[in-house]
Structure 1
């Protein structure tokens, strides 16, 4: 019986953690901008210098953006139509799970019908949650014309980190161009 309770408790914690691992994305854009006029890109150097990631992750993030931009038909250029600015915002996050559920309605251990009760330890998960922001800037007009972000990225988790960065960037940039989203 104790083993069953422990398995149920562990399953509850795993499901709760799995539910928190998805990236939440959103985007916004300048509705007056002619998005079809942008064909070439490069990174905004001042923005890249301020990205608060280690150099490995910074290169991974830039590579993921390059892969997605190239897949969308953009060409990297020294004199680009648009600049890609990257920002990573981090904050401490604490998730608390528990106490776990034990028992249920039915025959109690002292005899008679009993009610469910709660007990056991709380489980605490502390980590750094990141938000990846990708902005498209028009260098000629000096304006921001598209903003995309994905929040919920666990920056403390090194498991499959490159794969998760690629997936996150892909989910964010799937929202560009905005008209493609409306057509779906």
Structure 2
């Protein structure tokens, strides 16, 4: 009985988290780099132990190709101006909320409606947070020139692919070079 209740709570949590935009992005770049000179890129192979699902991998590649093209940066198979290196990690998070029903605010403090302490209810939620880091490395100097970090909740492959598309779009919007959309 307890496991059925836990499964229902996790399903409800997953639905509520997927309903809102749960992707946050931060970026930073080398202010001395000349971004207008970067016209081509390659996506470096991932060496992370946590890999992307096939649908998430396709979403990452397609989204990079689409959004970098708006900055006049094209994907090439050979020598490129930039290497885009991705790093992926996941982390389990647990949120504990306690609430007490039965206490009433009062001018000089709180008093309970029952003799003794009011009942305390505890809700525990657990979810997985994924982090995608995209490093843009100058191919000639091997220096990091731009980094975008996106974090969001991890759920089913279809929702993950959509979050990756959203993350890449937000990261590329902050890219300082090229033609801005």
Aligned 8 A contact 1:99 1:118 in 2: no
Aligned to 2:66: 67
Quick one: distance in 2 between partners of 1:179 and 1:35? Answer: 7
* Aligned alpha-carbon RMSD (Å): 3.5
Quick one: distance in 1 between partners of 2:82 and 2:178? Answer: 18
CA drift of 1:85 comes to 0.8
TM-score by length of 1: 0.69
1:30-77 Cα distance to aligned partner (Å, 9 max, x none): 1221111001111112xx243632333222222222221122221111
1:142-170 Cα distance to aligned partner (Å, 9 max, x none): 1111111112x112355633222211211
Aligned to 1:55: 54
CA drift of 1:131 comes to 1.1
Quick one: distance in 2 between partners of 1:72 and 1:178? Answer: 7
Aligned to 2:121: 121
Higher relative CO (Cα under 8 Å, sequence separation at least 6) belongs to: 2
TM-score by length of 2: 0.70
Q: Where in structure 2 are the equivalents of 1:25-44 lying within 5 Å?
A: 25-44=25-44
Listed as ranges, the gaps of 5+ residues in structure 2 are 1-12
CA drift of 1:120 comes to 5.0
Say which SS state the counterpart of residue 95 (structure 1) adopts.
strand
Aligned to 1:92: 92
Aligned 8 A contact 1:105 1:115 in 2: no
Aligned to 2:173: 174
Quick one: distance in 1 between partners of 2:85 and 2:64? Answer: 10
Q: Where in structure 2 are the equivalents of 1:129-168 lying within 5 Å?
A: 129-151=129-151, 153-158=152-157, 160-168=159-167
| Segments ≥4 residues shifted beyond 6 Å | 178-181
Quick one: distance in 1 between partners of 2:137 and 2:168? Answer: 17
Aligned 8 A contact 2:67 2:169 in 1: yes
How many residue pairs match? The answer is 159
Aligned 8 A contact 1:134 1:147 in 2: yes
Quick one: distance in 1 between partners of 2:83 and 2:57? Answer: 17
Say which SS state the counterpart of residue 32 (structure 1) adopts.
coil
Relative distance call for 1:114 and 1:100 in structure 2 (3 A) is closer
